Amino acid sequence: METTARLTSKGQITVPKAVRDALGVTEGDDIFFRVEGDRAVLARTPDFLSLAGTVPVPAAKRNATWDDVLRRTHGARAARSQ
């Protein structure tokens, strides 16, 4: 799909309906921009909560607090560097 949009004097564009529909974005959604050379790539920002449960976590590491995760990670890195 190819389409165009005009940049306003305030640096704004309206994302064409066909692009919004193709990406599945609606009012209030965040959109990600990445510049690649002289092009900008526009993408829907993933909903990270929808990714919950998609990464397998060993039973021994479940229900750990974030502080415990950081402590274990730092401890493991320190042990490897010795």
What does the radius of gyration of the chain's CA atoms come to, in whole angstroms? 21
In a domain, 73, yes or no: yes
pLDDT tens for the chain, 82 residues: list them: 889 999 999 999 999 999 999 999 999 988 989 899 999 988 888 777 777 777 888 887 788 888 988 888 888 888 887 7
In a domain, 47, yes or no: no
In a domain, 66, yes or no: yes
In a domain, 11, yes or no: no
CA pair distance 39, 56, nearest whole angstrom:
36
The answer to whether the beta carbons of residues 30 and 47 sit under 8 Å apart is no
In a domain, 35, yes or no: no
63 lies in which domain range? 55-81
Into how many domains does the chain fold?
Answer: 1
